[in-house]
Amino acid sequence: MFTAWAEISFNRFLEFLSVGYAKRVVEEENFSRPVAACTTGSSCACGLHAPVVHIDGMTPDECRGGAAGLQLHYVFSQSPFGELIVASTGKGVCYAAFADGGREAAIRSLQSAFPLATLQEHPDVHNTCAARIFQLDGTGVGEVRLHLKATPFQVKVWKALAEVPVGHLTTYRQLAHSIGNARASRAVGGAVACNPVALLIPCHRVIHSTGCIGNYHWGPERKAAIIGWEAAHCTSRTTGC
């Protein structure tokens, strides 16, 4: 079962979670080349789907008063790492979280994030698009739109984070450099921690410069599983292992 999921052996999978491997990836990778290849709306070199992510911040009126007046459509979607709830406004996906506590708890968490918004379980163009991407089967759509409650700084960090290719890793320091603020590592960490859309903004690809995988909103074990799965699939599809 594990080999069918990861496409490699368990021992080989563990190699991708080692500190040495992680440090080597963040030290050797130059994102200027792979990002250009992975933001075309097609597949990355590893064959995994790499959607172009467009991020727009909500207006003050849309955020004010607990998102009063906003109509949110949500669906549940399966992924290799667990079921997610995905919600969208008429402009894009605004929320995606793992439904670890069950569907009713997931809906309550969504309502808590948008207290006065109206919720309806209903597929639309945005949440359906995200649901296909979560299948991670190399097919689906070429782009996804996000419509997020965020500060301008958070949007800047999330846009940079969305450009980290599948199977690659970055650090808080590298992200700070990429947005032109080398001293903002701590603030970058705060923005990463506030990511409201699991997987679409790949905060799981941010690790410490020591090579330590670090914490994750949805659990360090899941973060390790996602990192290992992406690395394993990229390796197996490019080398045939």
In DSSP terms, 83 is beta-bridged to: none
- Looking at this protein, which amino acid is placed at residue 66? G
Confirm if 46 and 238 have CB atoms less than 8 A apart.
yes
Place of tokens 């700070």: 176
The angle that helices 185-193 and 152-162 make with each other, rounded to 10 degrees, is 80
* Tokens at 173, concatenated: 């320091």
Phi/psi of residue 196, each to 5°?
-95, 0
Phi/psi of residue 155, each to 5°?
-60, -40
What string of DSSP letters covers 175-233? HHHHTT-TT-HHHHHHHHHT--BTTTS-GGGEE-TTS-----TT-HHHHHHHHHHHHHH
Q: Which of 203, 212, 234, 241 is catalytic?
A: 203
Is 129 assigned a catalytic role? no
Give the residue numbers annotated as catalytic, written as ranges: 203
